[in-house]
Structure 1
Amino acid sequence: MNALFEDFDEIAEIAEALDDPSPGARIMAVMELADSADPAAIAHLARAIADEDAGVRKQAAQALTDFDGPETAAALVSALKDSDDAVIAAAALSLTELKDPAAGDAILPHLGDSDTVKLKACLAGIKELRRGEAMGPAINALQHADAGVRVEAVGVIGWLQDEGSLPALRDAAKDAETQVRRTALAALGFSKSEHAEATLIGALDDPEWLVREAGAETLAKAGGARCVPALRAALADDFWQVRVKAVRSLGKLNATETAIEIAPMMDIPVPNLRKECAAVLGEMAVVETIPYLEKYADDPDPDVRKNVRWALGRMATK
């Protein structure tokens, strides 16, 4: 509790100002209640969520970010039906800051809500709480017409990391919307199954580079030796962002046989790509790549120089 409020019953005293006729005074009261960091303030902030002034309601929704638990979650969920978009946005953001799994008790009943904004916010809010009861509603939400809802639903499923959800995630990886596919591929990172790996490899042929990038990146977590040929092919992708992820994944998989293919990519005029190539070549420590690294020991980019010199130093000890 804030030291400024230790010596007297400050919460009740501050809360009295929530009845002040001035919205400005009520906003100040909300801010002071938040500053107190006292759980006793939650009930008063919940009352402020229903204030007649939208500015007070928004401030209360923002203030609840500093608290947790079922009571906080219930107040924020109630704010999702506010008439003011700014209040709704503030409540939705505060919901994502909840960390106490018990807070999910107030969110779970709303995971089938017909209101798109409310449903999306509740899915986002329960994601990191990892409540198993959210799996069924999240899978159902993958059929929602709104892509934003589908993205949040994939997030819930991914955080639960249940092998039983693989069919749903693989279906989501074929969604019409780029962001849904991308999120689904990232969510597959927890699985080591051949089905997850096959989906990720298939994503390397997606028409959208953002999806190919996600597939290449996640293969470092969910892939094995079988994915190396596909990642090697991705080294020639039209987008350097995809090539960076392919290089990184090949490094994490310790696919040293690809070092001689990665080394010539040091000549590509993209500092981020050269930096990643140098780091991975250092990790692989294949001496045949030394000439490519030496060529860039004085690269104009400081991060590239740092990685090149580290890689050369590592190989010198081999």
Structure 2
Amino acid sequence: MSDSDNSINMKDIIEKLNDENPEIRIEAAEALGNCGKEALDPLIKTLNDENPNVRFQASKSLGKIGKPAVKPLINALKDDTGNIQKYAAFILKDVGDSSVVSDLIDALKSEEWAVRKFSAKSLGEIGDEKAVEPLIELLKDEDWGVRVAVTKALGDLGDERAIDPIKKARRAATGDKDYKKVANKSLKKIGK
């Protein structure tokens, strides 16, 4: 197949991202995962699709593209669209390395709870100790899901600096048995 055939084919796939049928958009997003760097922009725009399954497939395809997706994803993390930020934070852990940590730490300040939650989760999975202090600050977040993600991330990081703050957050969670279980599991991971 020639380059012009390739570009026509990719153009057809990109057009399918606008189809009204979400299944067709999912297939298009999946196909773009095999198209390399040229597919980055359409896939990042697709992170804001109305259908969560389409958004999820676009993020998986970005992950498949790998390292070339890091810079566009970091830019997407600064986008003012919550879904784009959320999925960028979600997928950066798979395509990035410790070079994305400072960007994910910045995303912990997002007004969108889902962005804070996915950034915390990604930071825990990346495992860079630079994330410990910023995550500790989020133990008091007003969103329960963010607090849980932060507590789990701190457990994954395994840094002893998190022990007292997690214990304090556990005490403050009066009557919240689910949070206390998460806190206990994280403390056990840290070794205390």
* TM-score normalised per structure 2: 0.78
The 1:176/1:111 distance shift into structure 2, 3 A limit, reads: farther
**Residue 164 (structure 1) aligned with residue 68 (structure 2):** yes
Residue among 79, 92, 98 paired with 1:193: 98
- 1:153 Cα offset (Å): 3.6
Asked whether the equivalents of residues 247 and 262 of structure 1 are also in contact (C-alpha less than 8 Å), the reply is yes
- Once the two structures are superposed, residues 259-309 of structure 1 have per-residue CA deviations (whole angstroms, 9 ceiling, x without a partner) of 1111122220322211100111122232xxxxxxxxxxxxxxxxxxxxxxx
2:18 is matched with: 116
The 1:130/1:272 distance shift into structure 2, 3 A limit, reads: farther
Counterpart-to-counterpart distance in 2, 1:175 and 1:121 = 26
- 1:114 Cα offset (Å): 6.7
Matches within 5 A, 1:264-303: 264-267=168-171, 268=173, 269-286=175-192
Structure with bigger gyration radius:
1
2:69 corresponds to which letter in structure 1?
Answer: S
**Residue 148 (structure 1) aligned with residue 53 (structure 2):** no
- 1:179 Cα offset (Å): 1.5
Residue among 255, 260, 263 paired with 2:164: 260
3-state DSSP of counterpart to 1:113:
helix
Asked whether the equivalents of residues 104 and 119 of structure 2 are also in contact (C-alpha less than 8 Å), the reply is yes
3-state DSSP of counterpart to 1:132:
coil
- 1:140 Cα offset (Å): 3.4
- 1:225 Cα offset (Å): 0.9
- 1:236 Cα offset (Å): 1.6
Asked whether the equivalents of residues 135 and 156 of structure 1 are also in contact (C-alpha less than 8 Å), the reply is no
Residue among 115, 128, 132 paired with 1:211: 115
How many corresponding residue pairs? 177
- 1:172 Cα offset (Å): 1.5
- 1:168 Cα offset (Å): 0.9
Asked whether the equivalents of residues 73 and 92 of structure 2 are also in contact (C-alpha less than 8 Å), the reply is yes
Counterpart-to-counterpart distance in 1, 2:70 and 2:79 = 14
1:217 corresponds to which letter in structure 2?
Answer: K
* TM-score normalised per structure 1: 0.49
The structure in which a higher percent of residues are helix is 2
**Percent of counterpart pairs with the same letter?**
20
Unaligned runs of 5+ in 2: 1-8
**Residue 125 (structure 1) aligned with residue 22 (structure 2):** no
1:147 corresponds to which letter in structure 2?
Answer: N
- 1:161 Cα offset (Å): 5.0
Matches within 5 A, 1:60-99: none
Unaligned runs of 5+ in 1: 1-106, 287-318
Asked whether the equivalents of residues 154 and 180 of structure 1 are also in contact (C-alpha less than 8 Å), the reply is no
Counterpart-to-counterpart distance in 2, 1:165 and 1:282 = 35
